[in-house]
């Protein structure tokens, strides 16, 4: 691969000599004399239209990404499962619409954080059991149980949103004694 020698433009050369003149070299023999006469900048060609100046970019400070969600510690999960530790608070979202459940969940998490709680339980419910859904299998009729268990699916999605990281450290499915698949342990971030 051949490399073409780089040549400096007149302005680059003038700028380099200006910068180099202000530096004391280690070897005095290599000192660069300051330019005697600065070369005038070449006038733009008449046949080419002048480029409009580039719009100044506004520098937006980088927003740090939200911290990652953390899993519950093994010791804490073991204590919760064995009943040696209980949650500081709990909320039951059974029977609520998604909008109402979302509003209540956010309000509950904010109140829990303000109260200094470290661990809460969010009960979403599991939806209809599979055996009930199998009874209503009819190709021409919508499944009345198909809409059940919506909160069980969407609450973890809500808790994982970047906006929730100021409230939530992490979450996991609760042990059987606290609701199993129909509940979540949620770690609350300190204010």
Tokens, residue 171: 């979450």
Alpha carbon distance 16, 36 (integer Å): 14
Task: Find the mean pLDDT for residues 88-97.
Answer: 90
Q: Write the CB contacts of 117 (distance below 8 Å, at least 6 apart in sequence).
A: 88, 89, 188
Structure tokens at 147: 């809409």
- DSSP-derived letter for residue 179 is T
Domain 74-188, CATH 3.30.390.30 — does that match? no
User: Is residue 173 packed enough to be buried (19+ CB in 10 Å), middle (13-18) or exposed (0-12)?
Assistant: middle
* pLDDT over 50 (residue 189): yes
| Helices and strands counted in the chain (H then E) | 5, 4
Q: Which structure tokens are listed for 141?
A: 């009729």
Domain limits of the chain? 9-36, 74-188
For 151, other C-beta atoms within 10 Å of its C-beta total 25
The reported pTM is 0.57
pLDDT tens for 2-48 read: 566 677 788 888 888 888 777 777 777 776 665 555 555 555 555 56
Which residues pair with residue 172 across a beta bridge? 185
Contact 122, 183 (CB under 8 A): yes
């Amino acid at each position: 691969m051949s490399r073409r020698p780089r040549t400096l433009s007149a302005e680059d050369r003038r700028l380099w000599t200006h910068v180099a003149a202000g530096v004391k070299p280690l070897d005095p023999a290599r000192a660069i004399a300051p330019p005697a006469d600065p070369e005038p900048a070449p006038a733009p060609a008449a046949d080419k239209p002048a480029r409009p100046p580039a719009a100044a970019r506004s520098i937006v400070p980088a927003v740090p990404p939200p911290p990652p969600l953390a899993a519950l510690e093994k010791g804490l999960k073991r204590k919760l499962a064995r009943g040696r530790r209980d949650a500081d608070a709990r909320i039951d979202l059974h029977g609520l619409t998604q909008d109402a459940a979302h509003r209540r969940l956010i309000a509950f998490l904010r109140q829990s954080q303000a109260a200094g709680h470290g661990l809460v339980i969010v009960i979403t419910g599991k939806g209809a059991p599979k055996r009930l859904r199998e009874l209503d299998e009819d190709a021409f009729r919508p499944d009345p149980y198909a809409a059940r268990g919506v909160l069980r699916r969407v609450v973890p999605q809500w808790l994982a949103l970047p906006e929730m990281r100021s409230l939530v450290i992490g979450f996991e499915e609760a042990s059987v004694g606290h609701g199993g698949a129909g509940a979540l342990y949620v770690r609350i971030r300190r204010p």
